[in-house]
Amino acid sequence: MALKDFSGKIFAFGYDVFMFPIEKFALEKLRAKALSFIEGKRILEVGVGTGLNFQFYPDGVNVIAVEPKFEMLKRAIKRAKNFNGQIYFVSARVEFLPFKDDFFDSVLATFVFCEVENPANGFRELLRVLKPGGRLILLEHVRPGGKFLSKVFDLVNNFTSILGENINRETLKIALEAGVVIEKVINVYGDFVKLIIARK
């Protein structure tokens, strides 16, 4: 087994183990709230990870789940066994989506854009595949507004960015500049975790 494959398996397994208490005590209710804004039946979820959102989807939807990391995708496929609807898996990056224009009723991304190499291109791709008037749902941690906390995030980002995790991204600003039409922003933890409801 190649070292890269082994490290990918360890990361995917470790992600679920590490995130379990955080999910149970903090994030599950946020995921449920985010998915309550889904409209229509044809849904795209980008950066699906290990499939932690699956349990919160409404019944009867058709979901295409996109994830670039193979080992994460494998765990998501296992987690989807009890999914009450249709779900299809695609290995792809959000900046290069293999779907036609104006295809999805809703697009979902939860804690994704901190890892996207080119977030502006990612948002443009989401808008491209979303139907006119379609809904975009983002649950993201972002750079906080306060002077002290923003400096703390900038400092910590020097370390997290080594792992590809940019915790000080100004994701809302990037989305607006890419042409996303914001309907509602809900600050769920301070102003550094936001639920963003938007339209094409």
| Domain CATH code at residue 29 | 3.40.50.150
| C-alpha atoms less than 13 angstroms from C-alpha of 174 in its C-beta half-sphere | 19
Q: What pLDDT does residue 110 have? A: 97
Q: What pLDDT does residue 7 have? A: 40
Q: What pLDDT does residue 143 have? A: 83
pTM, two decimals, is: 0.87
Q: What pLDDT does residue 167 have? A: 84
What is the residue range of 70's domain?
Answer: 3-199
Specify the DSSP class assigned to residue 1.
-
Q: What pLDDT does residue 21 have? A: 66
Chunked mean pLDDT (size 10), the chain, 200 residues = 41 58 78 97 97 95 96 92 93 98 98 94 98 97 85 85 83 96 94 94
- The kind and range of the H/E element at 132 are strand 130-141
- Residue 56 CB burial class (10 angstroms; 0-12, 13-18, ≥19): middle
Q: What pLDDT does residue 145 have? A: 86
Task: Give me the number of domains the chain comprises.
Answer: 1
Q: What is the rounded CA–CA span in Å between residue 134 and residue 44? A: 11
Q: What pLDDT does residue 27 have? A: 84
Within 10 angstroms of residue 54's Cβ, the number of other Cβ atoms is: 22
